[in-house]
């Protein structure tokens, strides 16, 4: 289970970001418009994660606060 991801935002769309971690892995994370307004690319952030696993998808949803 993934509960948090910390890294540098390498790509940002209104409700989706890609975060590159120190390990070299990059994660795609869905975010709210509110969260999107508070972050910028090339900045380091920590996101609290809710992982939703369905039959045809596995998605991460990120939040700045618990």
Map tokens 């892995």 to a residue: 25
Per-residue pLDDT of the chain (66 residues; tens, 9 = 90+): 899 999 999 999 999 999 999 999 999 999 999 999 999 999 999 999 999 999 999 999 999 998
Quick check: 26 and 20 in contact, CB under 8 A?
yes
CA torsion sign for 36, 8, 64, 31 is positive
Q: What is the pLDDT of residue 1?
A: 86
Domains and CATH numbers, the chain: 4-63 (2.40.50.140)
Cα separation, 32 vs 25, in Å, equals 22
Token reading at 61: 């949803």
Q: What is the pLDDT of residue 66?
A: 85
């Amino acid at each position: 289970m993934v509960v948090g991801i910390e890294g540098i935002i390498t790509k940002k769309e209104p409700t989706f970001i890609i975060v590159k971690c120190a390990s070299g892995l990059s994660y795609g994370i869905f975010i709210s418009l509110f969260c999107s307004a508070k972050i910028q690319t090339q900045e380091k952030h920590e996101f609290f994660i809710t992982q939703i696993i369905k039959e045809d998808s596995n998605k991460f949803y990120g939040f700045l606060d618990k």
